[in-house]
């Protein structure tokens, strides 16, 4: 084979690879749009009237996740099944965002932490690497850390809306989450940096709880915490 023939073959391989990346990019753009729509919907819970319609917003969000599952099915067909990590960077960010959104919905519904397996089911992908397109553990953890930041914001806005018991429940949840992360030996630089931000979320929520205490609202909050969430 001549040099020109060798490079012609290489160009063919490069062209094929670029075609795959372009097809992936199109689906990822669609996923990003759906994620924005879900985020816009859920942001309504931070506003006063939004606290009264949390269940409806979560229901609508789950309907959007039906679109996500369809788009994920399309994404799976755009590259060879054994080359997941070769193209992983193309959808890493949007997948982490979708994990956060799924975790936020589950928290708003039940005030519990969604499992990686449950998130994978919501997104229509696998939890186990061996089964194909899957939810990487680090992507799951990154999404959970984003949830912590969102809940810190929700704690502040809950007080503004007159819901004094929610910050107490959020505080308990975030502290438990922080304890869980302390059990992990995080070596991924990006994930480690994001985890370092969790302590600021914990501090922010503690300040909200402390403010409720000095204003004498913690007693009302404690009583309310035993009632409807």
Residue 228: DSSP 8-state: -
Read off the tokens for 114: 């969604």
Which residues partner with 212 through β-bridges?
A: none
Question: pLDDT class for 52, splitting at 50, 70, 90?
Answer: confident
Residues near 176 by beta carbon (within 8 Å), at least 6 away in sequence: none
Percent of the chain with pLDDT strictly greater than 70: 93
Q: Do 98 and 144 contact (CB within 8 A), yes or no?
A: no
| DSSP structural state of residue 134 | B
**Cβ count within 10 A of residue 56:** 12
pLDDT confidence bin for 221, thresholds 50/70/90 = low
For residue 40, pLDDT over 70 is answered with yes
Inter-CA distances, 24 with 28, 120, 138, 179, Å: 6, 19, 21, 37
Write down the pLDDT at residue 222. Answer: 55
- Tokens matching residue 176: 């438990």
Dihedral pair phi/psi, residue 132, rounded to 5°:
115, -140
How many angstroms separate the CA atoms of 58 and 45, rounded? 10
Cα 133 from Cα 85, distance rounded (Å): 10
Q: Which residues pair with 201 in a beta bridge?
A: none
**Domain residue ranges in the chain:** 1-132, 136-218
Residues that constitute the known binding site for Mg(2+): 150
Instruction: Extract the tokens encoding 107.
Output: 């928290």
Task: Answer with the residue of higher pLDDT: 50 or 15.
Answer: 15
- Per the DSSP assignment, residues forming a β-bridge with 134 are 126
Do residues 60 and 41 touch, judged by C-beta distance below 8 A?
A: yes
pLDDT tens for residues 78-125? 998 889 999 999 999 999 999 999 999 999 999 999 999 999 999 999
Measure the CA–CA gap between 112 and 147, rounded to whole angstroms: 12
Interatomic CA distance for residues 182 and 196, integer angstroms? 11
Domain 136-218 class, CATH top level: mainly alpha
In this predicted model, which residue has the larger pLDDT, 8 or 111?
A: 111
Superfamily name with CATH number, domain 1-132: Translin; domain 1 (1.20.58.190)
Q: Do domains 1-132 and 136-218 have the same CATH topology?
A: yes
In the prediction, which pLDDT does 229 show?
43
Model confidence, pTM: 0.89
Q: Taking 90 as the threshold, does the pLDDT of residue 216 lie above it? A: no
Q: State residue 193's pLDDT score.
A: 87
Can you say which residues are annotated as belonging to the binding site? Answer: 150
For the purposes of burial, counting CB atoms within 10 Å of the CB of 68, is it exposed (0-12), middle (13-18) or buried (19 or more)? buried
The pLDDT of residue 188 is 67
């Amino acid at each position: 084979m001549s040099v020109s023939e060798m490079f012609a073959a290489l160009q063919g391989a490069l062209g094929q690879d670029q075609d795959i990346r372009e097809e992936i990019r199109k689906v990822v753009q669609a996923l990003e749009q759906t994620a924005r729509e879900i985020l816009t919907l859920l942001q309504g819970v931070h506003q006063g009237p939004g606290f009264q319609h949390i269940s409806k917003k979560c229901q609508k969000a789950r309907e959007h996740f039906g679109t996500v599952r369809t788009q994920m099915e399309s994404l799976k067909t755009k590259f060879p099944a054994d080359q997941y990590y070769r193209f992983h960077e193309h959808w890493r960010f949007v997948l982490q965002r979708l994990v956060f959104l799924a975790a936020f919905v589950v928290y708003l519904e039940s005030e519990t932490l969604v499992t990686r397996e449950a998130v994978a089911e919501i997104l229509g992908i696998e939890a186990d690497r061996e089964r194909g397109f899957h939810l990487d553990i680090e992507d799951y953890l990154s999404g959970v850390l984003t949830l912590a930041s969102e809940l810190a914001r929700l704690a502040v806005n809950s007080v503004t809306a007159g819901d004094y018991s929610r910050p107490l429940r959020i505080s308990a949840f975030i502290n438990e989450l922080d304890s869980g992360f302390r059990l992990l030996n995080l070596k991924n630089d990006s994930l480690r940096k994001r985890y370092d931000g969790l302590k600021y979320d914990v501090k922010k929520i503690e300040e909200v709880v402390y403010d409720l205490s000095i204003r004498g609202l913690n007693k009302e909050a404690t009583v309310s915490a035993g009632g409807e969430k």
